Chains A and B, each alone.
Chain A
């Protein structure tokens, strides 16, 4: 069964450093998403991406965040200058349309 994959599983970085989280969505999906989950809190929507552009973003997704689909298979989330409060589990999801979203296993980001 096809699944969303994410790398790395755990990323440790120093405050102020740039990080790139990588995702490979399910191959025939057209809609891509990033969510995050701070420990003990809700899973929160960050951004959705369709047709090579951002279709919606939350207030969390400020200028420090960007997304890219550099080729036909990868979908990345970049955080330019990480802050302590960016420490969270980041989930990538993809969908073929009409709501169903399939989530990857997540990348745990730890900012020191």
Chain B
């Protein structure tokens, strides 16, 4: 089955700096890669996703990149703000109606004001 590795497990950055979280996956059949943000007491919230036919996707301060050959994908947050502090999960899935999502361990991001 799919295995998703994520690092770092914790990340502290100064407000305004960039944050990068990296993930690898094992199943070459995976072709959908969502990123979730989990705030305290809440469930994971989808913040951005990328499909395998795309190498990069950007949404305001958030960007994701995918290297399908190397089975790597990354989340980049620029101009970090204190409200970006949360746990971020990368995940992988095979495109389809009811495909399960396999999560990474999560990265606890702390943005220091």
Contact = CB atoms under 8 A, between A and B. Distances in A.
B100 A45 contact: yes
Contacts of B103: 42-44
Nearest to B97: A97
A99 B32 contact: yes
Contact of B34 (A4, A44, A49, A100): A100
Contacts of B110: none
State the majority secondary structure of interface residues on A: strand
A103 B44 contact: yes
B93 interface: yes
Contacts, number: 65
Interface in B1-39: 32, 34, 36
A55 interface: yes
Given A43-B103, A99-B34, A103-B36, A4 B95 contact: no
Contact of B101 (A41, A45, A105): A45
State the majority secondary structure of interface residues on B: loop
B89 interface: yes
B61 interface: no
Interface residues of A, number: 30
Interface string A64-91: 0000000000000000000000000001
Contact of A31 (B41, B43, B98): B98
Given A35-B101, A45-B102, A56-B100, 7 more contacts: A30-B97, A43-B89, A98-B95, A99-B34, A99-B99, A100-B49, A106-B43
